[in-house]
């Protein structure tokens, strides 16, 4: 498709940006091209050439699935049989086909097939959903050059290295591209990299001059060049290469590289050549393969299985030894002790002449017979329960985001119980904590504070303090909301500022906001409304605020800025033209931005805005009139979580400006190593003697409920880290906004901003820089640890703030343990300028170093590595891309839903799964030990006391359904109480409900029940008339009676253990017992060939006999009495936290604030972050 028509002239933005868009030169490092690590060669516009084909570069298909069609069966089977219990049942299933088996092979193998098949089906469905999302991304369309200047749409997955693509405004880049040209004449373009580094401000990229003339589709036809560059790597911020074009070689830098998953903004289109595809792209290089995650509870469950295997082998060994001794004595001088085994004419299994072999065979038989100690249905029951728990998470209306029509979505159900054990949360900032929008909300001008709005932080603190703020205090506002503007004050709005005492300063204040920026106005042709595209959201908020107050910036050229403003004298709107002389750009070192303009009166003005710590020191003596009032307002704004800037100005004399401009041009044109230092020196000399106008306060708009959520999570004892690609100042402001930081908290800063390192950087000695940087990071860590040690035992809270460069050294093998020790001693940790790889490494460090459950939460492709590395990855299904969601375990629409996900669903799932597993082991030990005790009483003959199908169906029909119902529906406390008493969450973090003490306790309960059931039934039925006919009870009657008592005991035990009954639980508990009786009737009515020794056992022998019913009444009561006694004493004297809350509810004291506070304050450590901690700190300060 050929682009027709003339090219519309666009602004040369590279001339506005004084410090950016520097051209690369062939430096020393470019000599590495062609060597190791720099071997990639790209033939531009020739993807089909022979040279391109032999290099066999990766295609552009990207996959996030765990399986493929070829690997699903072997890998999924491996996943199932790496569970030791499943492997054991596979072995016993094979042995069941031999004469050794004490039961039929069919009854042994069918349950295993059902269990494995159900789990594999679930895994397959979950991975298919991931596959569908991959297909959606890989099938996105982009225009690619087909030849002869013709462009046509193709799918992302079909792109090849060397293809030339045309990407249009607001589209994502499909691969890593080398920028050739753009819709701007000087070949610049704006790129939003939020998916990569979390930043919303736009990055400026610029192509080489030699390719900037490729202005139309047709001009691409004859373009051919060869690019030599670095091999694929994970470094987002570096790129080294050369382009051979028209027999000349040109250097390439990161300025020309457009990364996959970043977005083209404020630029109509660009042309680019594909450099890296698919797995070679930098964003994918920063990700890791989707791991097979298993919860800590499941891993511990495997250890319990190993313990039970130990018990199983011990019982089998003891029984086999005893059996061998007895078998040896069976035939002694012709006397047969166990005559019924016919030792004189026996098979090898009972042959007294082959005792060792008989004992070994008995050992194998015993392994199969006692296999019921191991719960075969445990895994599949847990899988079913987890799937149903996930359904409840997905359908929770309290986690449904109506605005975007997005519910919570549990993409895997393997980690439900992990949600109840999270010790540390590692969170992205942009798009996760914030909404990616700034709002101008307050300002201080001439010592007077303006703006009556409330921030999210102020609302949260007000609610906690019992004095909620009300918007009604500032009057009803029916006007439509304006993005970026939430300022309400009748003294300023609607032109009323002219009546203020310092109206002239207010005019200069908003005039500065309208002029001092690099934003670009766009006029809507339909409405005539002026909209703005800015490098950062806060810059856009400033020009919008100026417009709403009456200073509308509406036009920019390369040399001028036009503002429509209110004239104080006439009260009319007038157009003012400001000639743009210089732009002194903002950077993290200068922390300020200035423009020098000439107004219509011919005066040269320097307008400056910047951080308070650099601006106050630049004020003139006569410009500090309102300094104290402004500082007081700044403190209030910071406490409200607002981002602040100081505004000031000065008038330059003509000769002073002329001298400055000459020095500035000279510094910019300098080619020496200290060019930036020369520029800084020149700008420092002009940005001084300023007159203070006031301060702006912008709310980096948090998502709704973020401070509340963080406060509640902090009260639950969860540590929260923020890992962001943003600069340190931004991250700190957000820390204050969401109450991770507060006034009075000691900040431990680790960065490499020191004069010594700057000198070394100018000298270019890399080894010296590395050595000095490591030493500085170590010094900061040691100093921070000393501060923690000095304050140990005190109430002082610490926050650790570290930048990306320092983090690279802190994560080295010999330093990372010291860094983690320091970080774990701090209340808050904020890592700034973190690359995706660093985020993943920090997550790995916390996970492995603490041994506790970690949760990572993010919304962009830059968070994928972190989400996959953490024990649990939570993706925010925000407005930008689906990469984080596709790689996450659970997706939610807003950060605030994390509170309910963890404190409610997490706690419930942890408790349910833990109780399920304990109960499973209890019921199987009760069942299996009864089999063993009967074996012992029959001198280990290998004969099971129960019928084959009684054995097989115990775990399937008569005891599993109630435990599934408990795993899905049981609640120790309601959702309201989970949120009211967040400390309850610590039961999961400390693993109170799945500790070895609790597990062993349930096992001992099972042992007690088995002993009581066996001996009571044996003694009750031992030789005496069982019915009026005088018949005694045989093995069939004893087995059926013991089985009946077991079914009653385990189901009634479940009824005692449940805290929250539903109709379904009643149905399953009593239904399982009823089903047993119905089964005895139906199975006993079958022919003796099928029912064997269960033939009419219930109808003819058990049901007519009163003693059977008496036994089934007294034995369950006796078996449950020990548990009932223990739990009653525990509740009375040593209640767990959830039991205390249940008692509050039972006594009706849930609305008694003093009693609830007493229970709530049983904290293991004081809360140090969140607005609750901020309020407590302020209260303590007032008391002192």
**Among candidate residues 819, 612, 762, 761, the one with its CA nearest the CA of residue 696:** 612
**Among candidate residues 156, 282, 180, 271, the one with its CA nearest the CA of residue 231:** 282
**507 burial type by CB count under 10 A (0-12 exposed, 13-18 middle, 19+ buried):** buried
Helix (H, G, I), strand (E, B) or coil at 42: strand
Q: How far apart are CA 71 and CA 74, in angstroms?
A: 6
Active site positions, annotated = 428
Helix (H, G, I), strand (E, B) or coil at 778: helix
Phi (first) and psi of residue 1087, to 5 degrees: -65, 150
Contact 363, 317 (CB under 8 A): yes
DSSP state of 789: H
CA 338 to chain centre: 66
Dig out the tokens for 293 from the structure: 């995650």
Torsion of CA 600, 601, 602, 605, to 10 degrees: -80
Q: How far apart are CA 1061 and CA 1050, in angstroms?
A: 17
Q: Beta strand pairing status for 798-802 and 828-831?
A: parallel
Helix (H, G, I), strand (E, B) or coil at 449: strand
CA 461 to chain centre: 26
DSSP state of 1085: T
DSSP H or E segment with residue 574: strand 573-584
Strand partners, 598: 579, 604
**793 burial type by CB count under 10 A (0-12 exposed, 13-18 middle, 19+ buried):** exposed
Q: How far apart are CA 1179 and CA 1060, in angstroms?
A: 40
* Residue position matching structure tokens 């940006």: 17
Q: How far apart are CA 386 and CA 378, in angstroms?
A: 12
**Among candidate residues 533, 522, 437, the one with its CA nearest the CA of residue 189:** 533
Contact 245, 232 (CB under 8 A): no
Sequence-ordered alpha helix ranges (H) in 232-353:
282-285, 296-328
Dig out the tokens for 1173 from the structure: 């901690």
Angle made by CA atoms 301, 307, 308, in degrees to the nearest 5? 90
Sequence-ordered alpha helix ranges (H) in 82-189:
84-95, 105-138
**857 burial type by CB count under 10 A (0-12 exposed, 13-18 middle, 19+ buried):** buried
Q: How far apart are CA 689 and CA 623, in angstroms?
A: 7
Angle made by CA atoms 1048, 1051, 1054, in degrees to the nearest 5? 145
Q: How far apart are CA 1124 and CA 1107, in angstroms?
A: 25
Contact 1010, 1100 (CB under 8 A): no
Give how far Cα 105 sits from Cα of 97, 98, 100, 366, 371, Å.
5, 8, 11, 15, 14
Question: Angle 1063-1084/1035-1057 helices, nearest 10 degrees?
Answer: 170
Dig out the tokens for 1159 from the structure: 């229970």
Residues 215-240: b if buried by 16+ CB within 10 A, e if exposed: bbbebbbebebbbbbbebeeebeebb
Q: How far apart are CA 1021 and CA 1015, in angstroms?
A: 10
């Amino acid at each position: 498709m050929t682009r027709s028509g003339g090219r519309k002239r666009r602004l040369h933005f590279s001339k506005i940006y004084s410090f950016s868009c520097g051209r690369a030169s062939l430096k020393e490092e470019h000599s590495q091209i062609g060597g190791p690590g720099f071997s990639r060669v790209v033939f531009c516009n020739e993807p089909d050439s022979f040279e391109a084909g032999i290099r066999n570069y990766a295609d552009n298909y990207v996959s996030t699935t765990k399986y493929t069609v070829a690997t699903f069966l072997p890998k999924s089977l491996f996943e199932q049989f790496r569970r030791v219990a499943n492997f054991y049942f596979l072995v016993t299933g094979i042995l069941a086909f031999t004469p050794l088996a004490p039961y039929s092979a069919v009854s042994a193998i069918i349950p295993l097939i059902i269990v494995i098949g159900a789990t594999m089906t679930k895994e397959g469905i979950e991975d298919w959903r991931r596959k569908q999302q991959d297909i959606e991304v890989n099938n996105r369309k982009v225009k690619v050059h087909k030849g002869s200047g013709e462009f046509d749409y193709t799918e992302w997955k079909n792109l090849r290295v060397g293809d030339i693509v045309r990407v249009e405004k607001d589209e994502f880049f499909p691969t890593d591209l080398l920028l050739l040209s753009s819709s701007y004449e000087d070949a610049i373009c704006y790129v939003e990299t939020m998916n990569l580094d979390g930043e919303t401000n736009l990055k400026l990229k610029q192509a080489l001059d030699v390719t900037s003339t490729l202005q139309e589709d047709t001009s691409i036809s004859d373009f051919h060049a060869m690019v030599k560059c670095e091999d694929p790597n994970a470094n987002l911020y570096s790129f080294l290469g050369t382009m051979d074009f028209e027999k000349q070689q040109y250097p390439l830098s990161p300025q020309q590289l457009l990364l996959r998953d970043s977005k083209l903004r404020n630029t109509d289109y660009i042309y680019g050549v594909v450099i890296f595809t698919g797995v070679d792209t930098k964003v994918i290089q920063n990700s890791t393969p989707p791991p097979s995650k298993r919860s800590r509870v499941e891993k511990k469950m495997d250890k319990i299985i190993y313990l039970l295997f130990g018990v199983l082998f011990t019982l089998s060994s003891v029984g086999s030894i005893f059996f061998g001794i007895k078998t040896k004595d069976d035939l002694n001088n012709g006397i047969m002790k166990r005559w019924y085994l016919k030792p004189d004419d026996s098979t090898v299994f009972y042959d007294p002449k082959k005792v060792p072999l008989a004992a070994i065979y008995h050992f194998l038989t015993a392994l199969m017979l006692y296999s019921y100690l191991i719960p075969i249905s445990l895994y599949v029951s847990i899988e079913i329960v987890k799937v149903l728990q996930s359904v409840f998470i997905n359908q929770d209306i309290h986690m449904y985001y109506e605005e975007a029509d997005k519910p919570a979505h549990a993409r895997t159900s393997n980690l439900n119980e992990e949600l109840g054990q999270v010790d540390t949360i590692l969170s992205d900032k942009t798009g996760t904590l914030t909404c990616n929008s700034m709002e101008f909300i307050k300002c201080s001008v001439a010592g007077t504070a303006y703006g009556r709005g409330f921030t999210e932080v102020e609302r949260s603190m007000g609610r906690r303090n019992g004095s909620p703020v009300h918007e009604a205090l500032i009057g009803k506002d029916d006007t439509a909301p304006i993005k970026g503007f939430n300022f309400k004050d009748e003294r300023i709005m609607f032109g009323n500022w002219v009546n203020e005492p310092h109206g002239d300063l207010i005019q200069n204040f908003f005039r500065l906001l309208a002029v001092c920026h690099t934003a670009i106005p766009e006029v809507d042709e339909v409405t005539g409304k002026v909209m703005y595209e800015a490098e950062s959201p806060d810059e856009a908020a400033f020009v919008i605020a100026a417009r709403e107050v009456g200073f509308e910036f509406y036009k920019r050229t390369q040399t001028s800025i036009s503002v429509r403003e209110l004239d104080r004298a006439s009260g009319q709107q007038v157009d003012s033209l400001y000639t743009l002389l210089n732009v002194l750009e903002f950077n993290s070192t200068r922390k300020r931005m200035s423009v020098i303009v000439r107004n219509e009166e011919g005066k040269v003005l320097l307008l400056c805005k910047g951080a308070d710590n650099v601006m106050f020191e630049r004020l003139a003596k006569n410009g500090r009139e309102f300094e104290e009032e402004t500082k007081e307002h700044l403190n209030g704004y910071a406490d409200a979580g607002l981002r602040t800037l100081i505004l000031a100005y000065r008038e330059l004399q003509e000769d002073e400006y002329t001298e400055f401009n000459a020095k500035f041009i000279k510094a910019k044109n300098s080619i020496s190593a200290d060019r930036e230092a020369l520029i800084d020196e020149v700008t420092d000399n002009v940005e001084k003697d300023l007159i203070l106008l006031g301060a702006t306060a912008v709310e980096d708009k948090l998502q709704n409920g973020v401070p509340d959520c963080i406060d509640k999570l902090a009260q639950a004892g969860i540590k929260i880290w923020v890992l962001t690609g943003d600069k340190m100042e931004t991250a700190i402001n957000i820390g204050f906004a969401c109450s991770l930081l507060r006034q009075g908290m000691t900040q431990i800063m680790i960065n490499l901003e020191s004069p010594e390192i700057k000198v070394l950087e100018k000298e270019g000695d890399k080894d010296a820089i590395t050595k000095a940087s490591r030493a500085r990071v170590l010094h900061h860590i040691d100093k921070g640890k000393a501060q923690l040690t000095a304050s140990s035992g005190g109430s002082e809270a610490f926050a650790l703030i570290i930048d990306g460069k320092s983090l690279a050294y802190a994560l080295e093998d010999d330093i990372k343990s010291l860094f983690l020790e320091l970080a774990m001693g701090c209340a808050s940790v904020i890592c700034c300028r973190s690359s995706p790889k660093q985020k993943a490494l920090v997550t790995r460090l916390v996970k492995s170093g603490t041994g506790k459950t970690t949760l990572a939460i993010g919304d962009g492709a830059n968070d994928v590595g972190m989400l996959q590395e953490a024990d649990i990855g939570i993706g925010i299904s925000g407005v930008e891309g689906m990469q984080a969601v596709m790689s996450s375990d659970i997706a939610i629409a807003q950060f605030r839903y994390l509170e309910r996900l963890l404190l409610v669903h997490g706690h419930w799932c942890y408790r349910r799964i833990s109780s399920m597993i304990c109960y499973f082991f209890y019921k199987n030990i009760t069942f299996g030990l009864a089999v063993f005790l009967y074996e012992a009483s029959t001198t280990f003959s290998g004969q099971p006391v129960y019928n084959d199908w009684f054995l097989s169906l115990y775990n399937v029909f008569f005891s599993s359904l109630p435990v599934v119902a408990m795993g899905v529906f049981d609640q120790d406390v309601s959702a309201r109480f989970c949120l009211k008493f967040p400390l309850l969450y610590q039961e999961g973090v400390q693993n109170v409900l799945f500790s070895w003490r609790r597990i062993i306790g349930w096992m001992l309960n099972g042992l007690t029940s088995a002993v009581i059931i066996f001996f009571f039934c044996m003694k009750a039925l031992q030789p005496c008339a069982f019915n009026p006919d005088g018949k005694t009870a045989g093995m069939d009657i004893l087995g059926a009676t013991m089985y009946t008592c077991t079914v009653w005991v385990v189901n009634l035990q479940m009824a005692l253990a449940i805290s929250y009954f539903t109709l379904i639980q009643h149905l399953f508990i009593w239904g399982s017992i009823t089903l047993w009786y119905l089964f005895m009737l139906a199975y006993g009515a079958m022919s003796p060939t099928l029912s064997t020794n269960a033939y009419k056992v219930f109808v003819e022998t058990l049901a007519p006999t009163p003693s059977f019913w008496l036994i089934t009444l007294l034995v369950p009561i006796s078996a449950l009495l020990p548990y009932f006694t223990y739990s009653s004493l525990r509740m009375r004297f040593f209640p767990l936290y959830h039991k205390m809350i249940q008692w509050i509810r039972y006594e009706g004291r849930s609305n008694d604030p003093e009693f609830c506070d007493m229970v709530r304050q049983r904290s293991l450590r004081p809360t140090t972050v969140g607005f609750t901690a901020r309020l407590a700190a302020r209260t303590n300060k007032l008391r002192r």
